[in-house]
Amino acid sequence: MSRTQMMPVQALYSPISDAIQRHEAGVRKSKKAVLTGSGRAWREDEEAYLLQTRLQKMPYKHIAVHLNKTELACRLHYHQLSRGSTRRKRTTSCSSDSPDPASGIPGLAASPIPNSKSRSISPAHIVGNYFATASPRLPAILPKPEPVAVSHPGESPQRHGIVMSEQSHEHLPSVTFRHGGPSYPSYHPPAPPLRLDCRELSPPSASAQGPVHVDLARLHSIYEVHRNAFWAVIAGDYGLNMSPAALEQAWKTGVCCPQHGGNPITPIASPDNDRKPLRRSPGLDKTRISSILGVDMEPMLREGWRRLRLGVCVVPPSLVNTIAARPAAVHCRQVVLKTPVSCTEPIMASKDGGPAPGHDPKSSSDYVQFNCLPPGGPLNRWSTTLTRGHDFPGAQAMLYGAGVPNREMMKNAPQVGIATVWWEGNPCKIIKGAVEKQGMLGWQFNTVGVSDAITMGGDGQRSRMRFSLQTRELIADSIESVTSAQHHDANISIPGCDKNMPGVVMAAARHNRPFIMVYGGTIRKGHSALLERHVNVSTCYEAAGAFAYGKLRAKTDAGAPGRESADVMEDIERHSCPGAGACGGMYTANTMATAIEAMGLTLPGSSSYPALSPEKARECERVGEVIKTTMERDIRPRDLLTRAAFENALVLTMILGGSTNGVLHFLAMANTAGVPLTLDDVARASDRTPFLADLAPSGKYLMEDLYEVGGTPSVLKMLIAKGLVDGSIPTVTGKTLAENVADWPSLDPGQQIIRPLEDPIKASGHIRILRGNIAPGGAVAKITGKEGLSFTGRARVFDRERDLNEALARGDIRREDGNLVLVVRYEGPKGGPGMPEQLRASAAIMGAGLTNVALVTDGRYSGASHGFIVGHVVPEAAAGGPVALVRDGDEVTIDAVLNRIDAAVSEAEMERRRAEWKAPEPRVKRGVLAKYARLVGDASHGAVTDGW
């Protein structure tokens, strides 16, 4: 391996000098004897070896994956070492010209490494320029290290490290070491690392592997850098509520928890040489075992491990059951607690031991809190937020649609997420085959995606909707990263939900390589037997409002057994989402899919084909041929993302009654593509475009219905003929948009979904851009005209969506209170953070029949929202916008004709309130949302994170 090849590894895990200095300062202090599990002091060379074995996984980010088996094996190695009695000989000379970072590791000698030809010396631990001769009683379970001087061409053998030979006892564990030191010369080929896995009973042969180089100085530096994270993971795995520093000390002293006058807790496995009983052994039980945590114990037994001791705190209930179920050749003493130990207690050594007086583990700067369930506790403690009762019917509907088989599973079964790069039912399976048929290589990779109907679950700090919008940026970032880093020549993206589609388009604008989007497709209609009509996910949220206000009833025999309100709610949840596909109305997913088709970035018909239709499968088969055409003709995304394309998208969105989220996404996509687009452009498009589609949420039809009368291409064909859409724009097919739809059938005569231009639902677009003393930077309203064109009411202010939802659930918002403008603030991109949607509130208002209520927020609305709603208020409250100054009782007027939103408050009063206003503390200070809040721009510029 060349030096160049090794540099990325070395750069990624470079030692941190001050961490090393801290360690060296620590080892200069007087050392106290520490005890092994068998009660005698550890030798320093044993400590060094334990450190070495513990370090081998440190360069990895996800050490928890192999933690159980790795840690157990390391500890078995260590306690085997403890059986030796001869102390190593300490040397007194040092030939190093400069301090070695590892020189402070206990158990390291200070003597030059002998020449590589000296093969007859005893096994040694070699670090940097030093080595320490180990005990001659080193057991055969350990691979024997051989000293080797590694030299490069033209250099004297100065850079040294330990080389672990492949010689190891048959049937015994092998050892993993990751290369971290100097690179090998060309004539000394590197070997892949051996794995420390007790289940691998025989290591690879020497001829196949060769020696493995270990730089203990680098490993020690890595340990210093990652020490807290390393011990925190161990604490989490064993369910210990201790600071990493306390756990490290406890581990070194041969226990797993500080004793504090309580029971001594031994490691999960240790040689029981003294055979003394534990100080307290309630429920003592002898069990015959052959396996702990899936690790084969037979090799250990052959090496003299005749008895194993299990610790009180270390054995979770699952392991106790495992041990009881696997009898074998040895007896094991097992301790079972009489009373459950709560994982939220600071110390878990014993129920009656407790922490030392005055000891507060949270006072440690590196304290990490771990929570877990008491024995026998429910496992669905997170998913129950969505599945208990009927608080989140949309989420339950989506989960039923995803395959939850019955109510029992919905309410009680824990839900386990399985992150995968690819799965059998994804359309990319067909697409990869189509690409390969064209003589090209198809490389599948994945990115993130969330379902907004499920993220809608939870309130306040439990709300997951805050995570939704920022996934658009994550999707764009990840696709840009993979496409660019992997040198892909083209990209086919397969999005399926709201933020997915703008995310993949933004990525395409960034990498600017031939690109096609294949929409995952819309869902089929559901049907409620008790309502006796079609239902969809939007029905769930409106039914929740009706349910809360006692207005949800079966169409016939209401109130009869099996037809009560709760039965109707259950029926809606079970049948709103009958299978795969994006939400079926003109919600955000279908808004973006139709708009992107109008921009020329998909094949004709992609946006209206149902997910499980044969047409969708044929589209996937055709896309391989078309992506090859884009490559051959060098058709790039930025060639297609033109001003005319965005105007087409805006016009079609107004025609179909699309989501207000479309405005946010069009601004973001245009920003990324370098196309000037503002709220004023949106306003102009709305002014000149009629609203024609009777589609949900404000209408009665779904995208499946539109598909059956011709779909998006038929609508585009009509709009091109009427001069509302520019048919001359280029598309991914190599043809113009007009050529793509020329052979498509016209809309079915007599269909009622798309009204004639001469008889629109509303003469101008339903999306209005408002400004005023509440929103000087702009706001986006969705007003179809069915609610009227202006609204005036008294303000009722909520600083959290949760507070409004609770008021609605209690029935505190009443029709007899007169006209109300409900203001929900501090829910913008920075304040939320994440600009969550207010669908629960807007749907509950509609379901309860509260037509005397308008809703204003600096957050967003779902595409399923409708009513007199205003969102995207800029500046947002968290940024000190005027919406933060509105108070209960202020008169607020919304005018969709004059495009104004104003509070009847004088400028002087506003200034007085501003002087009293104080910015609230950020709701999130760590993690992806905190990072998003720091980077994101305002909604009037698309809420992007990479420049606005």
pLDDT at 15 over 50: no
Q: Report the range of poorest mean pLDDT among 218-232, 603-617, 633-647, 862-876.
A: 218-232
- The answer to whether 36 and 112 have CB atoms below 8 angstroms apart is no
Asked whether the whole model's pTM tops 0.75, one would answer no
User: Of the given ranges (25-39, 808-822, 911-925), which has the lowest mean pLDDT?
Assistant: 25-39
What confidence tier does 941 reach under pLDDT thresholds 50, 70, 90? Answer: very high
**pLDDT in the model for residue 391:** 75
pLDDT (tens digit per residue) in 319-347: 333 333 333 322 333 333 333 333 332 22
Please tell me the CATH code under which domain 767-941 is placed: 3.50.30.80
As a whole number, mean pLDDT of residues 585-600 equals 95
pLDDT at 20 over 80: no
Report pLDDT for 318. Answer: 37
In one-letter notation, the amino acid at residue 920 is P
Confidence band of 239 (pLDDT split at 50, 70, 90): low
Question: What letter does residue 695 receive in the DSSP assignment?
Answer: B
Q: How many residues does the chain have?
A: 948
Cα gap 899→769, rounded to integer Å: 6
How far, in Å, CA of 587 to CA of 866, rounded?
10
Q: What is the pLDDT of residues 856-882, one digit of tens each?
A: 999 998 766 777 899 999 999 999 999
Segment among 10-19, 309-318, 495-504 with least mean pLDDT: 10-19
Q: DSSP alpha helices (H): ranges in 352-406?
A: 384-387, 393-402
CA distance 657 to 783: 10
Residue 401: pLDDT over 50 = yes
- List the one residue out of 493, 486, 712 whose CA is nearest residue 591: 712
pLDDT at 252: 58
In this predicted structure, the answer to whether residue 95 has a pLDDT above a threshold of 50 is no
Q: Residue 405, preceding bond cis, omega within 30 degrees?
A: no
Percentage of the chain beyond pLDDT 90 is 34
- Residue 853 confidence (pLDDT): 92
Residues in Cβ contact with 866 at an 8 Å cutoff, skipping those fewer than 6 apart: 697, 698, 782, 784, 842, 846
Given a contact cutoff of 8 angstroms between Cβ atoms, the answer to whether 122 and 133 are in contact is: yes
What local confidence, expressed as pLDDT, does residue 809 receive? 82
For residue 534, the surrounding DSSP H or E stretch is: strand 533-535
Q: What is the pLDDT of residue 232?
A: 65
Query: For residues 67 and 896, what is the distance between their CA atoms, to the nearest angstrom?
Result: 61
Positions marked active-site: 862
**CATH code 3.50.30.80 region(s) in the chain:** 767-941
pLDDT tens readout for residues 715-729:
999 999 999 999 999
CB 728 within 8 A of CB 789: no
The arithmetic mean of pLDDT across residues 502-512, rounded, is 94
Confidence of residue 711 (pLDDT cuts 50, 70, 90): very high
- Measured CA to CA, the distance from residue 932 to residue 943 in angstroms comes to 10
Span 244-249, average pLDDT: 70
228 has a pLDDT exceeding 50: yes
Confidence of residue 226 (pLDDT cuts 50, 70, 90): low
Give the tokens for residue 946.
């990479």
Find, among 402, 416, 368, 6, the residue nearest to 181 by Cα: 6
What tokens were used for 190? Answer: 């590197």
CA distance 704 to 584: 7
Local structure of residue 493 (DSSP, 8 states): E
Band (pLDDT 50/70/90 cuts) for residue 571 is very high
Q: What is the pLDDT of residues 800-844, one digit of tens each?
A: 988 988 888 888 888 888 999 999 999 999 999 999 888 778 877
In tens, the pLDDT along 154-166 reads 443 333 222 222 2
Please give the structure tokens belonging to residue 405: 């088989």
Work out the average pLDDT over 473-485.
90
| Residue 942 confidence class, pLDDT cut points 50, 70, 90 | very high
